[in-house]
Amino acid sequence: MAKNEPILSLHDINHQIGDTVILNDISLDLYFGEMVSLIGPNGAGKSTLVKLILGLLKPTSGQIHTNAVTLGYVPQRFSVPEILPLRVQDLLSQTNSKRLTFEQKAFILDSLSIKPLAHKQMAYLSGGETQRVLLARALLDKPDLLILDEPMQGLDPDTESWLYHFIDELPDFLACTMLVVSHDLHWVMKGSKRVICLNKHICCQGVPSEIAHTPEFSRLFGHFQPYIHHHDHCQHTDNCHHGHDYIYRNTR
């Protein structure tokens, strides 16, 4: 696969249920090493778009092309009934970890503090523990495209901050494209290379410093004023921004 060739392309995607239009005329490309955020109001079709990319749904019309990539997925919600004795080690044993060395797998498990949880049942984990296990499961497959669907929802601020830092600082051997569905506009605007704003169609997309000033963004999220925080934290891909991050304050 050529470096400038997209790993995922959506062309003229439409999805509807009966007469209800869920997504209309969606076209986009994702490239290796990008950190792309998908934002939009409730009911905008974000989760539907993720399910289409994962192949869990089929579009009413249009084409989705993946360039033989391995997909990783951390869902918005993951609940296991108490009657099902699914342990953490049982869930992680289902991964295709042959793509990683023993040392690389150990790094993931150690960094996410998985080993103390190995014998615990998934049903009894806290929200933060569950998200760490699901992220470990996704990373052990060494994905080319990692999709995170509201990964921080319901977490306490310390756990949320820790997980954001972890995905921001992935080592070279886990370098991949990330598509992150999030309502956290402050993180979206400082952590993304590209932001896609969805409201059944793509309202606008681009780099955070530009998209925040578009009329479409303002209508949905209000006005954001940028503050520049000098920071050079990304070392695993040429596609990252260096020198500063943008942090925004909602002035609606």
First to last CA, the chain: 44
pLDDT at 105: 93
Alpha helices in 55-184 (DSSP H): 88-92, 102-111, 127-140, 157-168
Per-position pLDDT tens, the chain of length 252: 556 789 999 999 999 999 999 999 999 999 998 989 999 988 999 999 999 999 999 999 999 998 878 899 998 778 888 888 899 999 998 876 678 999 999 999 999 999 999 999 999 998 889 989 999 999 999 999 999 998 777 777 888 888 888 888 889 999 999 999 988 787 787 778 899 999 999 998 988 888 888 888 888 877 655 443 443 444 344 444 333 333 334 444
CB 181 within 8 A of CB 149: yes
SS3 103: helix
Q: Is the pTM of this model over 0.85?
A: no
- For residue 134, CA distances in Å to 61, 78, 141 come to 32, 9, 11
Tokens of 199: 């409201």
Give me the sign of the Cα torsion angle 114, 117, 123, 129.
negative
